[in-house]
Structure 1
Amino acid sequence: MSQDQQPGSEGDFLVTFFLVVSDQDRSRNFYQSVFGGKVLRERDPVILEVANATLILNDGGGPTDDKPTVTLTTPPDPDQVSAFLNIRVTDIATASKVWSARGAEFLTEPKDHGGEIRAYIRDPDGHLIEVGQTTPTPSS
């Protein structure tokens, strides 16, 4: 970004997802094998390109000078979630079969909810991942 550009103007930043993991190698292998993630950095932190997103996988830790009251940790209770990854697919039946064969464990089979069909996966640390397929709505 040049000095005359203002932060937040189109094209001068990139949004990535940072996930705290307990084992960088195990998590890297999960995202690489299940979703075909391309490893950009092996560890400390792991950086992966998954489809059109970048994931950063790193160990947790205590407060630092720039976040003095914040501790990074894996989900303490995987059944209480405040954020999750959302993956959209064109064919959820195929995606669930392929990703299950690669080691993903779906909480249920895909469920039809009218405007979408969706199912959920947990990564090795319990981070929730929604897999959804938008379904056509009938014309009025």
Structure 2
Amino acid sequence: MWSVIGRILVEGGKAALRHAGKIFRRKPKVPDSAKPGKGGTGNKGGKGARRTCDPKNPYCGQSRDKLEKSRSSYEKLRDEHMQKLEQWKRDPLSMDNKGTYRNAPTPEARQKIFDGRARALEKQIAKHEGELRKINEALEVLGN
């Protein structure tokens, strides 16, 4: 093998060296059947089957403590954003620290700023709730 590398280096120069480095840095491909929880043999369902997490769920495989901490953090963020949204809808001037709402040139511009801020907060709340669903799914798999 080293003779091949030596020949590549002599004939190809720096570009060949970079290519050889990439080859040796690559991780070997592991077939899906060898990965835990994927393929292979095992329980395929029925009475004793354990529920598994969605493979796209980034919280699967984390410890219970970490999941519970994440859940409390996202619940806190969601509650804070819900309070901000309620306050923004109740009194937007109280939350206008940069003066963009107060100094809007027209009522239409002011309404656009109001709607945009409310939409941004609602989007953040929805994101937090989505993360909470994923965390709760991972906790269910662990067996609440």
TM bucket by the smaller chain? under 0.3
Higher relative CO (CA 8 A, sep ≥ 6), structure 1 or 2? 2
TM-score calculated relative to the size of structure 1: 0.21
Query: Which structure has the highest strand share of the two?
Result: 1
Structure 1 or 2: more helix by fraction: 2
TM-score for both structures, normalised by structure 2? 0.20
